[in-house]
Structure 1
């Protein structure tokens, strides 16, 4: 492995990456606006905060079903076609939500059903990155995607709130559909057609193939360790973040803390991805994973708004630990199921974060938000240390010295 890291100039010189990067930014910002608009639309019809919150979360829940049953499609179908299909499904969904006059149960059901395929579309995009960006450029590309995700979510929510006030939820949903159509055109014109990564397993259907390959991936000790190292620490930090609103007693004050958490994530991903050489990046995985949980312990002392924001920003900078796992994950999974492997990684992240938020929420009801946040941080530290064997970089195999031929004999 070369000690020299890739540069932004080298990454953005690749035309296909610029297309993937631009369409991804449109996707994240559009999804943030879509779920916010749907939540407002449901609240306007029902006046129920609970249904409004359920509508906001509906876009994330299908990741579990899609990740368990459909991920093999990411390898069995051409990636460009899959990504374009994802954008078209998103556009149609937004237009139906805006103008079809659906009852609340049908709107939430539509988002749940169409969202089942989201992990497949996302897996096709991620699996294409190592083909477009070989070597260390792939890790920097993933870093840029992480920074973009944090920035687009914050921007999408901030601009989305103002946009909703100006045009209403129907107009915001229509604009989101427009963003999806732009992304579809960008993908169609900017990416060459690539064949499917794998033709499938003969007569096996997508569900059977997905279950078989998921089992195969989880049975591999190396792959399983990398998956758990990606899932568990982030589940703990998600649980801590879920308690920020009740800890500060309102969405307005909590918004500053959550925004600082997004900033910390972006700064950490950018700094480690760009300035740490590949070998150092992998050595940093363990200390950064510990950092991810450590600052939340201070919430046991009841910090105020400024302290809570600073602690959240420092903690989420530790999410850059995952960059040190990226190259190893690509190397560990078979190339013909890379799409499903990345889809499983993503689905586990989403499911783990939902489970972490739910479990820490229960603890918050029993012990209070501050202690619950501290416990979540402590669990994050314990989990990181327990996974130290995976988080530490692998030692290269010793090179056997071979006798050079003696041409003088």
Structure 2
């Protein structure tokens, strides 16, 4: 099977629109969380509340993923994506200028964040519609690379705006980015109807479809293969700051990790043929864990960065799962399936960071990172039956 090319992917107008609005979304979210954390710290002087503010935008992903995802298939996707941008714009303006107390700031972010997985699911489910076949996998690769780049750029731009205009000004910039993204989506995407019809309440329907998806052995296996190795990765990355003993050197290591992810996604997405990409899923998933074991030997910043970058290149293993996931999921619930995939990934990362954090308290950051790497290897081997694609059936004679 011949693989798609970047030229073919970017030749699709709808993908260019999704790509541009996605970059604005990720960069804006990074600026928003950074600005909110600084705003809360300025008012309270509490590092704990500041950290809680930084994470507040992600925590509702779990609840929204459990109870609201059916909305991604019951409403037109373009309208949902535009609504998500407008909700983000209004939220940022309220955070910046409404004079809310700290508890009000956090409550606003938590409540509006409940719908984030729905907006993300609408975007993810539209991708295989505008990029059929292998072009979809390459499109996912492009978005993953863009996500890593936009996170780094968003933090850098956010820091610059914080120094220039303060947290309120940075939040206003995020609101502006969201409005621009909403206009891009409205002008650039054609109207499309909802994928499925409403069947009862949104919460009940979400729970029903989640049970249906998880009861399907093929879908469940692919979901677990996408979630569980990343639990170990998130745990290892969560220990980088205490391991390096300072934010400066930790930033170098984490930047190397982001770069390794981008390089892996680009290389596997662009240069590996579709069948090879699927065969690489198992060895790349093993690569996700192996380098972290080197932290048991106490590497300094240079080697720590190299090990982190090599490990995160293994995240490209997920590209070999994407086509099979689309094929396994019924089209009428595709939005919810992609939303469940994202919500489970976010939840798993939080669990991994927490568990390895507790382990790091007991045995130290370096050994804890090595244990997380070993866990990643064991998980990949346990999931080998899913990660290794089944051989194509021989034609009947």
- TM-score, with length taken from structure 1: 0.97
Which residue is 2:32 aligned to?
Answer: 34
Q: Deviations over 1:229-259 (max 9, x none)?
A: 0000011000000000000111111001001
Which residue is 2:229 aligned to?
Answer: 233
Which residue is 1:277 aligned to?
Answer: 273
Task: Give the Cα separation in 2 of the matches to 1:187 and 1:294.
Answer: 41
Which residue is 1:347 aligned to?
Answer: 343
Query: Given the alignment of the two structures, is residue 368 of structure 1 paired with residue 332 of structure 2, yes or no?
Result: no
Task: Give the Cα separation in 1 of the matches to 2:388 and 2:94.
Answer: 48
Q: Which has the larger radius of gyration?
A: 1
Which residue is 2:386 aligned to?
Answer: 390
- Secondary structure at the aligned position of 2:288 is classed as helix
Q: Deviations over 1:134-171 (max 9, x none)?
A: 00000000000000000000111112112210110000
Paired residue for 1:291, among 287, 292, 296? 287
Q: Deviations over 1:194-223 (max 9, x none)?
A: 00000122xx10000000000000000000
Task: Give the Cα separation in 1 of the matches to 2:251 and 2:181.
Answer: 29
Which residue is 2:318 aligned to?
Answer: 322
- How many equivalent pairs are there? 397
Alignment of 1:5-404 (within 5 A): 5-201=3-199, 204-401=200-397
Task: Give the Cα separation in 2 of the matches to 1:337 and 1:310.
Answer: 41
- Secondary structure at the aligned position of 1:195 is classed as coil
Task: Give the Cα separation in 1 of the matches to 2:203 and 2:396.
Answer: 45
For structure 2, which runs of at least 5 residues remain unmatched after alignment? none
Task: Give the Cα separation in 2 of the matches to 1:86 and 1:397.
Answer: 43
For structure 1, which runs of at least 5 residues remain unmatched after alignment? 402-409
Q: Deviations over 1:377-406 (max 9, x none)?
A: 0000000010000000122233223xxxxx
Runs of 4 or more, structure 1, over 6 Å off, are none
Quote the offset at 1:327 in angstroms: 0.1
Task: Give the Cα separation in 2 of the matches to 1:266 and 1:142.
Answer: 12
Task: Give the Cα separation in 1 of the matches to 2:331 and 2:82.
Answer: 22
Task: Give the Cα separation in 1 of the matches to 2:101 and 2:123.
Answer: 33
Backbone CA RMSD of aligned residues: 0.6
Task: Give the Cα separation in 1 of the matches to 2:189 and 2:157.
Answer: 29
